[in-house]
Structure 1
Amino acid sequence: MIRHYLEVLKLDAHDDIGAGIGTKEDQRFIAGVAEAVLEHLPEEFKGRLGNVPVVLEARPAKYLVQDGFDPRALGLFEGPDHFHQRGIEAAAAPSRIVLYYANLLAMFADEDELREQVEVTILHEIGHYFGLDEDDMQRLGLD
């Protein structure tokens, strides 16, 4: 499986170049949608998210894929979740939410579908930050 995942990662990244996926305009659009989603969160959640950045990366890093992470994932929450941050030493890696813009753009060419999927992906990863698992996400319609 890992060998195939790595091949998918390589082929998709190569195809991005030919398809023109991931322009600065594309990235600005996704970042703007993400900012709007975060802005409309209830205040109690915004405050708890604290300094958890949302970053854009083209596709998952090779080291993640080598560990079995899906190369076509749309997002990722990394780091300690909200409940574990209080006990983490300052030297620990910070939490962050990653949006994989090339994967989003490759799967959702329609602007409205892309906007909706960016919103779902952000909310999904925020859910992980607050301790929800994949079953919880499915019940909430965030899968």
Structure 2
Amino acid sequence: MRGQAPSHAPDAAMIETLAREALARIPHPFAEHLADVVLLVEEFADDETLDAMGIEDPFELTGLYHGRPVGEKSLFDSGGLPDRIHLYRRAILDEWCDTGVSLQALVSHIVVHEVGHHFGLSDDDMHALEEAAG
């Protein structure tokens, strides 16, 4: 029925679909540097990741970039894991409920933030860019 609220929370496949749509909207020439980045959707960050970041509550981490920023890569790099963007579904859903922002907008924001890390931007750099654009 139209207008009826969903009967269950969006699953990992839905989060991944929204994230891939956000990645597809990244303009060139940036998009060219994202072809080999792996996108992973998990329920929560693992304990090792949370400990390394000094985060006690897994609901505080919605996404994370693992890898070397584009500007630090070398032609001689080989054998390492591919760059990865991790999205944490339960934390995303919690923030979605708390903020009232559309799920599509929230996932897009998180993806763009993690892509910023891929290009070597710090959190402060990204916040400054967001404020300047907003």
Deviation track 1:72-93 (CA, whole Å, cap 9, x = no partner) reads: 2110000111112225531223
Q: Which residue of 2 aligns with 1:44?
A: 29
Matched, 1:139 2:128: yes
Counterpart Cα distance in 1 of 2:105 and 2:90: 16
CA RMSD of aligned residues (A): 2.4
Q: Counterpart of 2:29 in 1: which secondary structure?
A: helix
**TM-score for both structures, normalised by structure 2:** 0.78
Percent identical: 27
Counterpart Cα distance in 2 of 1:94 and 1:88: 14
Following TM superposition, the consecutive aligned residue runs of length 4 or more in structure 1 with deviations greater than 4 angstroms are none
Q: Counterpart of 1:29 in 2: which secondary structure?
A: helix
Can you give the 5+ residue segments of structure 2 that lack an aligned partner in the other structure? 1-7
- Deviation for aligned residue 1:112: 5.2
**TM-score for both structures, normalised by structure 1:** 0.74
Q: Quick check: which one's helix share is greater? A: 1
Deviation track 1:11-55 (CA, whole Å, cap 9, x = no partner) reads: xxxxxxxxxx8x6x5222211111111111112111111300111
Can you give the 5+ residue segments of structure 1 that lack an aligned partner in the other structure? 1-20
Aligned residues: 121
Counterpart Cα distance in 2 of 1:73 and 1:114: 16
Q: Which residue of 1 aligns with 2:49?
A: 64
Q: Which residue of 1 aligns with 2:64?
A: 76
